[in-house]
Amino acid sequence: MRTISCSFIGYPERSKGYRFYCPSHTTRIVETRHAEFLENTNISGSSDGSNTNDELQEGTGMNPLIILPIPPNSPLEDHSESHTPHNNDATSQEANETPINVEPTPPVSNEIPENQQSLRRSQRVRRPTNFDEYLIYLNEEADFDLGKVVDPISFLDAINCDQSIHWKEAMNEELLSMEKNNVWELVELPKGHKPVGSKWVFKTKLDPNGNIERYKARLVAKGYTQREGVDYQETFSPVSRKDSLRVVMALVAHFDLELHQMDVKTAFLNGDLHEDVYMIQPEGYVSKGQEHLVCKLKKSIYGLKQASRQWYLKFDEVMKSNGFIKNKVDQCTYLKMSGSKFIILVLYVDDILLASSDLDLLHETKRLLFGHFDMKDLGEASYVIGIEIHRDRVKGTLGLSQKAYIERILERFNMQQCS
């Protein structure tokens, strides 16, 4: 795998590592922990990156470590029966990165002019690139998190900032939801068990125009302290593909289908937890007189490694038991037929998109979802996973827009006046 040269632009907000700007890739912005900084070396530009490996070695005399396994212009295709896992941690986003060291070759025996330095080339056998190993599926919230709003990073920040009253209300709402879902019970920590930590995560939700819509506080477990085989077993969970969204939108426009959306409140709390997991009481809400107790989790709280999987298994069970058929290619897309009527359901973590040929069947499906989960009916779809939906049923057109997202990018790089 060849390395590429890119510009350091900062640090990721939600993960460890570095952030780089790589104009030679369609992803442009890449986050990685594996990089070699060449502070005193000028690297000549290269459009295809073919000479980058040599340039790095010539400048440093060391093995290059900027490993960015992200193929440019690679389609998100489905191969065999593999599906995309979703990252449970609401705050973590890392691509699958594998550093590969390049072994230097022996010095060239031919004489070289004194003013010219020899280039060292790798002699290892290069295997064909498997692009499936490096496909990146972006998280719905972080894709569009480029606004001016600065969210608190800790409980103390939240209660001491100017918006503290809003964050306190959000935390109270979160704990009421957990109490309603019977998420945990306070118990003595059994001998031989180690509790996982807990943390508050704060997020300011914006509307399509970038205005503040609501303040959201999420209590998450520090799942990175879990032990495989003890606190969790399996973690795989599929997530709907962006291609599925595009196909559904095309069908909606072509057949003039009803298009609605719903939101699952605290989706992960619906998943049943089968392992014995103990968590420290949430900061700021420790029960008086019971400070020595810990929370024995009954539900798959956010942050646990198996949380996303348990939520999906619960949702999948409900859908299949009520006549929905799961798509063979996208396991988060479902179809239900009722005579000549049909409805398509697309699940994207906790966002649900409904496209139906019949309004009664649509309402019937909504009642089904309300009967099993705590739902929020958002009506006709207008803004889903950061994408605005503009529809004219008279003209039979449907358009997708990310205007607010683009404007925030231009503002971030001071390019609002560019034409």
85 and 156 inside one domain: no
pLDDT tens-digit readout, 403-413: 888 888 898 88
What's the mean pLDDT in 133-159?
62
Residues 161, 123 within the same domain: no
Q: Does 68 have pLDDT greater than 80?
A: no
Bridge partners for 204 per DSSP: 215
Same domain, 234 and 305: yes
36 pLDDT above the threshold of 90: no
Looking at the structure, tell me whether residues 359 and 337 fall in a common domain. yes
3-state SS string for the chain? CCCCCCEEEECCCCCCCEEEECCCCCCCEEEECCCCCCCCCCCCCCCCCCCHHHHHHHHHCCCCCCCCCCCCCCCCCCCCCCCCECCCCCCCCCCCCCCCCCCCCCCCCCCCCCCCCCCCCCCCCCCCCCHHHHCCCCCCCHHHCCCCCCCCCCHHHHHHCCCHHHHHHHHHHHHHHHHHCCCEEEECCCCCCCCECEEEEEEEEECCCCCEEEEEEEEEECHHHCCECCCECCCCCECCCHHHHHHHHHHHHHHCCEEEEEEECCHHHHCECCCCCEECCCCCCCCCCCCCCEEEECECCCCCCCHHHHHHHHHHHHHHCCCCEECCCCCCEEEEEECCEEEEEEEECCEEEEEECCHHHHHHHHHHHHHHCCEEEEEECCEECCEEEEEECCCCEEEEECHHHHHHHHHHCCCCCCC
- Nearest to residue 263, comparing CAs of 139, 375, 379, 388? 375
Identify the band that residue 211 occupies on the pLDDT scale cut at 50, 70 and 90: confident
- Give pLDDT, residue 108: 45
Is the domain of 241 the same as that of 177? Answer: yes
Q: Would 417 be classed as within a structural domain?
A: no
pLDDT at 43: 54
- Specify whether 80 is located in the same domain as 199: no
Higher pLDDT among residues 311 and 231, named by residue:
311
Q: What is the pTM of this model?
A: 0.59
Phi, psi of 319 (to 5 degrees): -65, -50
Tell me how many domains the chain contains. Answer: 2
In a domain, 51, yes or no: yes
Q: Which tokens go with 114?
A: 């004194």
| Domain finish residue from 91, 121, 137 | 137
Q: Residue 419: inside a domain, yes or no?
A: no
* Whether residue 297 is found in the same domain as residue 205: yes
Residues 71 and 158 in one domain: no
Mean pLDDT of 45-70: 42
- Its domain, for residue 259, covers 144-411
Q: Which of 137, 165, 196 is the last residue of a domain?
A: 137
